[in-house]
């Protein structure tokens, strides 16, 4: 049996992440069933804290929801009991742990205590200078016309134009803001009201809580991709990856190439975090009695990536544990030479486009090199200068 123990620092989170609250996902129940009906059913199995059924359906076209219990002693046992014994009419209810929540807790359903330690960050921040800035109404006219909304599916935050085109009709260019919030600049008020109405009636919109922008709304979380190097194949599973990154934030999803095991030297994970940018830490993990050092690094070049860029297996950088420092990240990093000494611009790309690719890959190399591998200084800053 494979076991993994991961050392972290202090853990913080919302009430849904508290030690005594356990969440289960359920689906496949009759159309007429409501939250209060399921509340009565779930009460037979423990102390119910919350039952929630979204208005939209899952990818199989089925209704689904979440139930939260308090003071669960054995999560695995309760999961099996709920999944095996609940029938509504002739329909069996499907119950399991949410994909993003699997592996968060250890045996018995209790989290292990976190180590307490001291940090020098507080002192460093207290010495930082303060910048006084003022907004101007003349330059913020566009904000007065802007709407903001929250994504139901956080994973679509990089594909807003494609995912929201069918409700915006190409009239507005949505942009990601922070957490699960998006900006809809210059959205017509009547169009916004129609979206709100459709959401209330059918729950068919991918956006919820659509409202006018207000300076009082200040998100304190963000979505970002992180990568894990050094995770052995024996524990190559989303629930294990969630356990590795849980001290950095909440796992939203795993890159498809990683989950399908088309790339196993680096794991790419989308997380929701309230930590400052440029996450870079070494996580000490004990796996089947052996100690492993797992490098967790945040992706940064995506900020400058071309719009509508789609990730593929080729976009993953080579593992820093097996690649010499000067090996190019991507095959497109340098154009192939032709007999006359020029370059063969593949797929009609111009030399200027090659320059863009080169800039992106070079900047990424500077950031991904762990301190232990390339001899980076203890300051934790990325390496500077061209490769």
Taking the mean position of all CA atoms in its chain, how far away is CA 368?
19
User: How far is Cα 324 from Cα 319, in angstroms, rounded to an integer?
Assistant: 10
Is residue 379 a contact partner of residue 120, using CB atoms and an 8 Å limit? no
Query: What's the confidence (pLDDT) of residue 294?
Result: 93
Instruction: Please give the DSSP secondary-structure letter assigned to residue 277.
Output: S
Query: What's the confidence (pLDDT) of residue 305?
Result: 38
Query: What's the confidence (pLDDT) of residue 295?
Result: 92
Is residue 257 a contact partner of residue 263, using CB atoms and an 8 Å limit? yes
Tokens of 23: 């969440």
**DSSP track, 171-224:** S---EEEETTEEEETT--HHHHHHHHHHHHHH---SEEEEEE--TT-----EEE
User: How far is Cα 194 from Cα 177, in angstroms, rounded to an integer?
Assistant: 23
Query: What's the confidence (pLDDT) of residue 350?
Result: 43
Is residue 46 a contact partner of residue 72, using CB atoms and an 8 Å limit? yes
Domain spans in the chain, listed from the N-terminal domain onward: 20-109, 147-212, 317-387
Taking the mean position of all CA atoms in its chain, how far away is CA 361?
22
Is residue 5 a contact partner of residue 241, using CB atoms and an 8 Å limit? no
Query: What's the confidence (pLDDT) of residue 217?
Result: 80
Tokens of 142: 């566009």
> 69 - beta bridge partners?
22, 48
User: How far is Cα 206 from Cα 98, in angstroms, rounded to an integer?
Assistant: 20
**DSSP track, 68-84:** EEES-S-HHHHHHHHHH
CB count within 10 Å of CB 379 equals 7
pTM above 0.75, yes or no: no
H helices of the chain, in order, are: 35-42, 75-85, 121-126, 141-144, 160-168, 189-202, 238-245, 256-259, 351-368, 371-374
Query: 284: part of which helix (H) or strand (E)?
Result: strand 280-287
Is residue 66 a contact partner of residue 24, using CB atoms and an 8 Å limit? yes
State the CATH class of domain 20-109. Answer: alpha beta
Tens of pLDDT along the chain (387 residues) come to 344 565 444 344 444 445 578 889 999 898 888 898 999 999 999 989 889 888 878 777 888 888 999 888 888 889 989 988 899 888 889 998 876 555 444 444 444 444 444 444 444 444 668 888 877 776 677 777 788 888 877 776 666 666 566 566 666 777 788 887 887 887 878 878 877 777 777 776 777 778 888 878 888 888 889 999 999 999 999 999 999 998 898 898 888 888 888 888 899 999 989 888 888 889 988 888 888 999 999 987 544 333 444 444 445 554 444 444 444 444 444 444 444 444 444 444 444 444 333 333 333 333 333 444 334 444 444 444 443
User: How far is Cα 276 from Cα 120, in angstroms, rounded to an integer?
Assistant: 15
User: How far is Cα 203 from Cα 197, in angstroms, rounded to an integer?
Assistant: 9
Is residue 78 a contact partner of residue 69, using CB atoms and an 8 Å limit? yes
- Contacts of 242 by beta carbon, 8 Å cutoff, 6+ apart: 100, 101, 102, 103, 104, 251, 269
User: How far is Cα 276 from Cα 83, in angstroms, rounded to an integer?
Assistant: 40
> 269 - beta bridge partners?
226, 254
Tokens of 298: 């945040």
Query: What's the confidence (pLDDT) of residue 384?
Result: 44
Is residue 187 a contact partner of residue 147, using CB atoms and an 8 Å limit? yes
């Amino acid at each position: 049996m494979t076991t993994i123990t991961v050392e972290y620092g202090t853990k913080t989170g919302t009430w849904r992440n508290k030690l005594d609250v356990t969440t289960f996902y359920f689906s496949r129940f009759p159309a007429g069933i409501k939250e209060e009906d399921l509340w009565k059913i779930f009460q037979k199995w423990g102390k119910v804290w919350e039952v929630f059924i979204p208005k939209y359906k899952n990818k199989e076209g089925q209704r689904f929801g979440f139930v939260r219990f308090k003071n669960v002693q054995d999560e695995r046992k309760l999961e099996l009991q709920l999944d095996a014994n609940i029938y509504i009419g002739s329909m069996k209810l499907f119950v399991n742990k949410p994909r993003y929540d699997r592996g968060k807790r250890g045996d018995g359903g209790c989290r292990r205590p976190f180590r307490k330690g001291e940090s020098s960050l507080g002192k460093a921040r207290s010495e930082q200078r303060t910048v006084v800035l003022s907004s101007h109404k003349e330059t913020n006219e566009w904000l007065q016309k802007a709407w903001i909304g929250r994504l139901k599916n956080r994973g679509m935050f990089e594909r807003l134009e494609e995912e929201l085109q069918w409700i915006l009709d190409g009239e507005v260019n949505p942009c990601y803001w922070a957490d699960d919030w998006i900006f809809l600049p210059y959205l017509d008020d009547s169009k916004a009201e129609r979206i709100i109405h459709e959401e209330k009636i059918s729950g068919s919109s991918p956006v919820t809580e659509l409202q006018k922008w207000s300076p009082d709304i200040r998100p304190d979380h963000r979505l970002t991709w992180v990568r894990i190097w050094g995770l052995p194949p024996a524990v190559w599973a989303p629930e294990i990856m969630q356990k590795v990154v849980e001290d950095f934030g909440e796992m939203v999803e795993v890159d498809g190439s990683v989950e399908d095991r088309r790339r196993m030297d680096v794991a790419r994970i989308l997380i929701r975090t309230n930590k400052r940018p440029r996450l870079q830490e070494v996580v000490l993990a004990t796996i089947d009695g052996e100690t492993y050092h797992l490098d967790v690094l945040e992706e940064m070049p995506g900020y400058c990536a071309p719009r509508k860029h789609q990730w593929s297996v080729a976009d993953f950088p080579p593992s820093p544990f097996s690649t010499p420092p000067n090996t190019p990240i991507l095959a497109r990093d340098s154009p192939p030479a032709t007999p006359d000494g020029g370059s063969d611009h593949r797929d009609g790309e111009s030399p200027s486009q090659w320059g863009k690719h080169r800039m992106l890959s070079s900047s990424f190399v500077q950031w991904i090199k762990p301190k232990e591998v390339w001899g980076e200084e203890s300051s934790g800053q990325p390496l500077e200068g061209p490769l």
